[in-house]
Amino acid sequence: MTAQKTGDVPSMRRFFAYRLAVLADEVSQAMARLYADRFSLTRNEWRVVAALADLGATTARDVGLYSTLDKMQVSRALQGLETRNLVTRGAGADDRRTKAVELSEAGHALYAAIAPLLADREAALLATFTDAERHSLDEAVQRLTVRARNFVRDEGG
């Protein structure tokens, strides 16, 4: 059996979604080196810490939605963070069956130590652009995010 030729279908490396995924992974790895090496956090743990810093006390489900992590990724990250006393869990405000999770004092201190380092790294990454290009990039990312969400919503995803 021979493989079919793809004809005029472009190489995977030419697809925007693929290129964006590669870029996102490269940027994420560049950022992860800071908190992995200096603070022994995984990417998922950092995403949970950052989500909780933004959201305050909330549920693991909401952390997952906010951070785009799945339920198992959130659960494992929370276990690691709880072991290090960076998060606390308690009864939910609306439903006692739902556990509320939030950053502990140590978790807030950790976030305060990491966030400026990531902001500096982000600024260094974006320094390749002019102010106008950064503004255009920000607008493009916002517009693409809305458009992609609309596709998902309209297609029942």
- Spatial neighbors of 106 by CB under 8 A, at least 6 apart, are 84, 85, 86
pLDDT (mean) for 21-30 = 94
State the DSSP H helix or E strand holding residue 59, giving kind and residue range, or none if neither: strand 58-59
| Res. 3: pLDDT tops 60 | no
Determine contact, residues 72/48, Cβ cutoff 8 Å.
no
In angstroms, the CA 90 to CA 100 distance is: 5
How many other C-beta atoms can be found within 10 angstroms of the C-beta atom of residue 21? Answer: 11
Q: What is the pLDDT of residues 41-68, one digit of tens each?
A: 999 999 999 999 999 999 999 999 999 9
Q: What is the pLDDT of residue 96?
A: 59
Picking from 104, 116, 127, the residue whose alpha carbon sits closest to that of residue 38 is 116
For residue 156, is pLDDT > 80?
A: no
Cα end-to-end distance, the chain, whole Å? 36
List the domains of the chain with CATH numbers. Answer: 13-126 (1.10.10.10)
pTM (predicted TM-score)? 0.83
Q: Are 42 and 36 in contact (CB under 8 A)?
A: yes
For residue 136, the model assigns a pLDDT of 98
> What is the H or E stretch that residue 96 is in?
none
Helices (H) and strands (E) in the chain, counts: 6, 3
- The CA distance from 20 to 29, in Å, is 14
Mean pLDDT over 23-52 rounds to 95
Q: Are 53 and 108 in contact (CB under 8 A)?
A: yes
